[in-house]
Amino acid sequence: MDTTNLAGKRVLVRSDLNVPLDGDTITDAGRIDASAPTLRALADAGARVIVMAHLGRPGGKPDDRYSLRPVAARLGTAIGKPVSFAGDTVGPEAHRAARDLDDGDIVLLENLRFNPGETAKDDAERSAFAEKLAQLADVYVSDGFGVVHRKQASVYDIARLLPSRAGSLVEKEVNVLSTLTKNPDRPYVVVLGGSKVSDKLGVIDNLLSRADALLIGGGMVFTFLAARGHAVGKSLLESDQLDAVRGYLDKAEREGVELILPTDIEMAASFAADAEHETARVEALEDTAAGSDAIGLDIGPESAQAFAEKIESGRTVFWNGPMGVFEFDAFSAGTKAVAQALADVTAKGDGSLTVVGGGDSAAAVRTLGFADDRFGHISTGGGASLEFLEGKELPGLEVLED
């Protein structure tokens, strides 16, 4: 990120600070920590930094449950200097805070989504809010990669009103994700999980012709297993995607891509942390105590080992989506095995690249006790990362290039 000629200027930074809260307690500060380097660099360059972000979905009106106030102190810890807080976004507190900043100071504005103009579908309403934001600053920096796929006032419209540039986090995300689609070192292994095939159709379609191996787990695997003729009990199944999945299976075979499905599944009597469960072969998922009422909640131990071995053979590995219900200890082993395998690839220190997709995957590695630095890159943008890998145009990036 270029920080030249910013000393003494008010710089409005769109960060992604949409972190999970339990009351006032931040339960995963990953996005805060990822945002800190850009803000620190701007402050060190003498800029007067005004940070804007959103939290949750408050519906266009103030709601204390979604206040960013608890984030300000944690953000200051991550940056290494105090961050003040303005109790509104474009009101008197924000204007006073912006006016009173000295070189190197940082202030965080209240939740952008307390104003309906931030996410408005109407261009004029959105632009009007962006104009109010623009009055606070001289320069705009886009550093919230998790929102660049949204055509929102603080992401898209603001960049058309102020001199604009990408922050270091956005630059890093684009560079890493471009590697996954354009020139990955091989073997290139893609691991996809999560609940629904329909959430990953574009990624599968775009990466299937680029990857050497595609591993499928999580709830989405049952649609693949059903497409191969297996009964899956009460496991998550998208019947309307069966034809699409059969097409991907055929395409993988035609193009010589190794599409690997689990050979065993942890089948449970119910969706519960303490549910009775047993390991079943994919050919006999209903041959358990729960019979046709059984529900698959994790890949089995044989599959976890096979997935880990395939991952460890890769020089570029992209993973998006847990292998099971990792929030339940009894069904976290598959996700933990995948995370450990990626960490082992990183630990080789031979230049191999491991990328953990945002959202549930990022939450999973931290929940399971893996430090961020055990992976080459943890994306901050779940939906944005997937849309980038699908090859879609992202409004928040396109506007910076115009």
Amino acid code (one letter) for 12: L
Residue-level pLDDT at 309: 98
One-character DSSP codes across 280-325 = EEGGGTT-STTGGG-EEEEE-HHHHHHHHHHHHT-SEEEEES-SS-
Average pLDDT over residues 217-242: 95
Q: pLDDT-derived band of residue 196, with 50, 70 and 90 as boundaries?
A: confident
Burial (Cβ within 10 Å: 0-12, 13-18, ≥19) of residue 122:
exposed
Smallest CA-to-CA distance from 326 within 191, 195, 189, 146 is with 195
Residue-level pLDDT at 17: 96
pLDDT over 70, % of the chain: 100
Residue 358 labelled as part of a binding site: yes
Element (H, E) at 356: strand 353-356
- 31 is an active site residue: yes
Residue-level pLDDT at 94: 97
Tokens 């010589």 map to which residue?
Answer: 256
Residue-level pLDDT at 179: 93
Q: Is the pLDDT of residue 402 over 80?
A: no
Residue-level pLDDT at 296: 97
Residues 127-138 pLDDT 10s: 999 999 999 999
Residues 48-67 pLDDT 10s: 999 999 999 999 999 999 99
Residue-level pLDDT at 175: 94
Residue-level pLDDT at 261: 97
- 172 is an active site residue: no
Residue-level pLDDT at 11: 98
Residue-level pLDDT at 291: 92
Residue 105 labelled as part of a binding site: no
Q: pLDDT-derived band of residue 28, with 50, 70 and 90 as boundaries?
A: confident
Q: pLDDT-derived band of residue 381, with 50, 70 and 90 as boundaries?
A: confident
Q: pLDDT-derived band of residue 383, with 50, 70 and 90 as boundaries?
A: confident
> How many CB atoms lie under 10 A from the CB of residue 124?
8
Residues 350-364 pLDDT 10s: 999 999 987 788 889
Expressed in percent and rounded to 5, the helix, strand and coil fractions of the chain are: 45, 15, 40
Q: pLDDT-derived band of residue 24, with 50, 70 and 90 as boundaries?
A: confident
Residue 180 labelled as part of a binding site: no
Residue-level pLDDT at 283: 95
Q: pLDDT-derived band of residue 199, with 50, 70 and 90 as boundaries?
A: confident
Q: Where are the beta strands (DSSP E) in 77-228?
A: 84-85, 106-108, 139-142, 164-166, 188-192, 213-216
Residue-level pLDDT at 209: 86
Q: Is the pLDDT of residue 140 over 80?
A: yes
Residue-level pLDDT at 382: 79
Q: pLDDT-derived band of residue 290, with 50, 70 and 90 as boundaries?
A: confident
Residue 385 labelled as part of a binding site: no
Average pLDDT over residues 15-19: 95
Instruction: Find the radius of gyration of the CA atoms of the chain.
Output: 23
Residue 87 labelled as part of a binding site: no
Q: Listing from the earlier edge strand, what are the strands of the sheet with 139-142?
A: 84-85, 106-108, 48-52, 10-14, 139-142, 164-166
Query: Rounded to the nearest 5 degrees, what angle is found at the Cα of 58, between the Cα atoms of 146 and 150?
Result: 30
Q: pLDDT-derived band of residue 170, with 50, 70 and 90 as boundaries?
A: very high
Q: Listing from the earlier edge strand, what are the strands of the sheet with 295-299?
A: 277-281, 264-268, 295-299
Active-site hit among 194, 300, 359, 376: 359
Active-site hit among 10, 14, 31, 310: 31
Residue 59 labelled as part of a binding site: no
Average pLDDT over residues 101-113: 98
Residue 18 labelled as part of a binding site: yes
Active-site hit among 8, 60, 91, 383: 383
Between CA 72 and CA 86 the distance in angstroms is 10
Between CA 217 and CA 336 the distance in angstroms is 13
User: What does the DSSP 8-state code read for residue 382?
Assistant: H
Q: pLDDT-derived band of residue 183, with 50, 70 and 90 as boundaries?
A: confident
Residue 201 labelled as part of a binding site: no
- 196 is an active site residue: yes
Between CA 396 and CA 151 the distance in angstroms is 7
Counted residue by residue, the chain has a size of: 402
Question: Which phi-psi region, left, alpha or beta, contains residue 203 (left: φ > 0; alpha: ψ -120 to 50)?
Answer: alpha
Residue-level pLDDT at 401: 81
- 74 is an active site residue: no
Average pLDDT over residues 289-310: 96
Beta bridge partners of 298: 266
Query: Quick check: 210 and 186 in contact, CB under 8 A?
Result: no
Domains, in order of start, for the chain: 10-167 (3.40.50.1260), 176-390 (3.40.50.1260)
Residue-level pLDDT at 375: 95
76 vs 1: which has the higher pLDDT: 76
Element (H, E) at 401: helix 395-401
Tokens of 58: 């408050």
Active-site hit among 40, 196, 246, 251: 196
Between CA 372 and CA 224 the distance in angstroms is 31
